[in-house]
Amino acid sequence: MTSLSGFTIYTDGAARGNPGPAAAAFLVLENGKIVHKHSSFLGTQTNNQAEYQAIISALKNTKQFTKKHIQIYSDSELIVKQLNGEFQVKSPRLRGLYQEVITRIRDYSSVEFFHVPRTNPWIKKVDKLCNEELDRRRIIKSS
């Protein structure tokens, strides 16, 4: 599924508790090699909000590498289906984040969104970045 040429982005958001302390992370790959990685602490958010924030952050930061076609992969089936127009965005908490993504994709010639399982090796790397971000703040995993 990974693009052999061009830019591919893997994103993840995580919340310990829902809502709870949250983090977002992304990897930018060019031709299968990591060219940029980023993670950030988000404060208290839901997991879905964190997933959207990861995509927004990726869209903001990837402009420095390209404004052409990009592919974004996420393990959040809900978010991907919302962004692909398969599901409506019913949650008021997510509506503004959805609109921000729609606004930011205009910076690129085209953007595709794909759902991948949590077992995807790139998603595992981005998930690790989220967890490291939360661990740095000594945020305990909820049981």
Note down pLDDT in tens along the chain; length 143 residues.
Answer: 444 468 999 999 999 999 999 999 999 999 999 999 999 999 999 999 999 999 999 999 999 999 999 999 999 999 999 999 999 999 999 999 999 999 999 999 999 999 999 999 999 999 999 999 999 988 776 55
Q: Which residues are within 8 A (CB) of 29 and not within 5 positions of it... i.e. 6 or more apart?
A: 2, 7, 8, 9, 10, 35, 122
Please state the separation of Cα 112 from the chain's center in Å: 13
> CA–CA separation, 6 vs 26, rounded Å?
16
What pTM, to 2 d.p., does this model score?
0.94
Domain 7-136 fold is Nucleotidyltransferase; domain 5 (3.30.420)
- Spatial contact of 57 and 63, defined as CB atoms under 8 Å apart: no
| Domain range list for the chain | 7-136
Q: 2: burial class by Cβ within 10 Å (0-12, 13-18, 19+)? A: middle
Please state the separation of Cα 26 from the chain's center in Å: 6
- Spatial contact of 139 and 96, defined as CB atoms under 8 Å apart: no
Q: Report helix angle 92-104 to 47-62, nearest 10.
A: 10
